[in-house]
C-alpha cells in the first residue's frame, strides 16, 4: 500500500527551520555555505546564483529527469517522502536542476555557478550523524561559453575542501551517479580516517538534451555536499542534534566556525524492546516511525539500534506462542539510547518513552508495558 504524508505530517515537515537560510536566525551553517560560494566564485571569476526553490517537487524532476532508473531503491517509499503519486518532498537539492535547465535559452551565452542549498527529506536511521531532514547544497557550474572538463572538476574539489576544511588532505575516488559522467566521491582525512565530504562529476549530456539544450554546446560540473556533516567536521561537533539546540551555551557556539567547546553531556539511558513488526522492517523505516511516534520528544533520542530481526519461521515454537506472531511478521530487538542535551532524564520518563515507542511500533496482540 502506498505511503503518503498526511496533511499534519506535511505541515510538520515544512515547518522545520532551514539553518542555511539567512532569513532566519544567524547560524554557522550560513557562514560555511557563503564561504564555499565565495571560494568557487573567486576560483573561476563567474557570477553565482543562489537558488531556493520549494521543497515540494515533482517526482519526475526529483528522479526521472536526473536519470534515475525506475528500479532504483532510492525511489522506494521506505526512503522517500511522497505527498501523492506525482509530488514529493525532495530527497536531494539536485531536484531543482531540471527546472533550472528548462528555463535557459538555448542560444544564451552564459557561465554561472548555481548554489542550491536547503533541507532535504528522507526516511533515515537515527544516530549521532543522521536525521530525517538534513541540509544539503548542490553546487553546479553551467556554461555555454567553454567546455568544462575533469581539470575544472579537480579545481572545484580543491577550492571546496579548502573552504570547508582549510589544509585538509583529500582524495577523489570513482563513484557512479545517474546525472554525471566521470563521477567522483570526495573524501577528507580526519584524525587518520577517510570520511566522505561530497559527491561530484561532469554533468551528463542527457541533462541538457532533456531540457532542449545542445550537449555539444553546453557543459557543466555537478557537486553535492551535506551541510550538516561539513559543519560538524569543520567545528568538531560530535552530535548532529547540537546544530539545533536551544541551550544558550550551545547556541552561542553555532554563530561562527570556531572549534566546538564541549558542553557537559548527561549520561545515556538505554531501553531495550522486543516487538512484533512486519518482516521487511529495516533501520531507516524504524527510525522514521520512532520519530513520528515521539514528535518533539524524538530530540531526546541519541540513536535507535535494530539489534536483531528474526522472521516468524526462525523463532522457536515457544517464542511464536508467547508473542502470538504470524507468518509475514518478525521479532525485532530494538535498543533506544536516550540522552537529552540539556537536562537529566528520570527513569520514569525513560520508561514512558519506551512504552510510547512500543505501542507505536508493536504489531502483536500481546502488550508488555513497564510505565503503565
Q: Which three cell numbers stand for residue 255?
A: 554563530
Q: Which pLDDT value is given to residue 151?
A: 96
Angle separating helix axes 28-44 and 150-164, nearest 10 degrees: 150
Q: What is the pLDDT of residues 60-77, one digit of tens each?
A: 999 999 999 988 877 887
Q: Which pLDDT value is given to residue 129?
A: 63
Rounded distance between C-alpha atoms, residue 170 and residue 291, angstroms: 35
Rounded distance between C-alpha atoms, residue 57 and residue 21, angstroms: 19
Q: Which pLDDT value is given to residue 295?
A: 87
Rounded distance between C-alpha atoms, residue 138 and residue 94, angstroms: 6
Q: Which domains does the chain have, with CATH numbers?
A: 7-235 (3.30.930.10), 269-361 (3.30.70.380)
For the chain, residues with pLDDT lower than 70 are 1-2, 124-130, 264-265, 371-372
Question: CB-based contacts of 369: which residues, under 8 Å, 6+ apart?
Answer: 355, 358, 359
Beta pairing class for 170-174 and 180-190: antiparallel
DSSP state of 85: S
Q: Which pLDDT value is given to residue 258?
A: 96
Q: Which three cell numbers stand for residue 153?
A: 572538476
Q: Which pLDDT value is given to residue 345?
A: 87
Q: Which pLDDT value is given to residue 131?
A: 76
Amino acid at each position: 500500500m502506498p505511503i503518503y504524508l498526511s496533511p499534519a505530517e506535511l505541515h510538520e515537515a515544512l515547518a522545520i527551520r532551514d539553518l542555511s537560510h539567512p532569513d532566519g536566525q544567524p547560524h554557522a551553517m550560513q557562514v560555511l555555505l557563503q564561504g564555499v560560494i565565495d571560494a568557487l566564485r573567486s576560483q573561476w571569476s563567474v557570477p553565482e546564483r543562489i537558488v531556493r526553490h520549494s521543497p515540494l517537487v515533482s517526482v519526475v524532476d526529483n528522479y526521472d529527469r536526473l536519470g534515475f532508473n525506475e528500479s532504483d531503491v532510492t525511489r522506494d517509499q521506505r526512503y522517500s517522502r511522497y505527498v501523492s503519486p506525482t509530488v514529493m518532498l525532495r530527497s536531494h537539492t539536485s531536484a531543482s536542476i531540471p527546472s533550472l535547465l528548462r528555463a535557459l535559452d538555448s542560444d544564451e551565452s552564459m557561465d554561472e555557478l548555481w548554489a542550491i542549498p536547503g533541507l532535504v527529506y528522507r526516511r533515515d536511521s537515527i544516530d549521532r550523524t543522521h536525521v530525517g531532514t538534513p541540509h544539503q547544497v548542490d553546487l553546479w557550474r553551467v556554461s555555454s561559453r567553454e567546455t568544462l572538463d575533469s581539470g575544472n572538476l579537480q579545481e572545484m574539489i580543491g577550492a571546496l575542501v579548502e573552504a570547508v576544511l582549510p589544509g585538509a588532505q583529500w582524495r577523489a575516488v570513482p563513484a557512479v551517479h545517474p546525472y554525471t559522467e566521470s563521477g567522483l566521491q570526495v573524501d577528507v582525512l580526519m584524525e587518520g580516517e577517510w570520511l566522505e565530504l561530497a559527491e561530484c562529476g561532469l554533468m551528463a549530456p542527457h541533462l541538457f538534451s532533456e531540457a532542449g539544450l545542445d550537449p555539444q554546446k553546453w557543459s557543466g560540473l555537478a557537486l553535492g555536499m551535506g551541510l550538516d556533516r561539513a559543519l560538524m567536521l569543520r567545528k568538531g561537533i560530535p552530535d548532529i542534534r547540537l546544530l539545533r539546540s536551544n541551550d544558550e551555551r550551545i547556541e552561542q557556539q553555532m554563530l561562527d566556525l570556531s572549534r566546538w567547546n564541549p558542553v557537559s553531556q548527561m549520561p545515556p539511558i538505554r531501553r531495550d524492546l522486543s516487538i512484533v513488526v512486519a518482516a521487511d522492517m529495516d533501520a531507516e523505516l524504524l527510525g522514521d516511525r520512532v520519530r513520528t511516534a515521539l514528535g518533539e520528544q524524538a530530540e531526546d533520542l541519541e540513536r535507535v539500534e535494530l539489534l536483531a530481526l528474526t522472521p516468524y519461521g526462525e523463532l522457536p515454537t515457544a517464542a511464536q506462542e508467547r508473542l502470538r506472531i504470524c507468518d509475514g511478521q518478525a521479532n525485532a530487538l530494538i535498543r533506544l539510547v536516550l540522552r537529552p542535551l540539556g537536562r537529566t532524564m528520570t527513569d520514569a520518563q525513560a520508561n514512558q518513552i519506551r512504552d510510547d515507542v512500543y505501542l507505536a511500533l508493536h504489531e502483536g496482540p500481546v502488550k508488555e508495558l513497564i510505565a503503565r
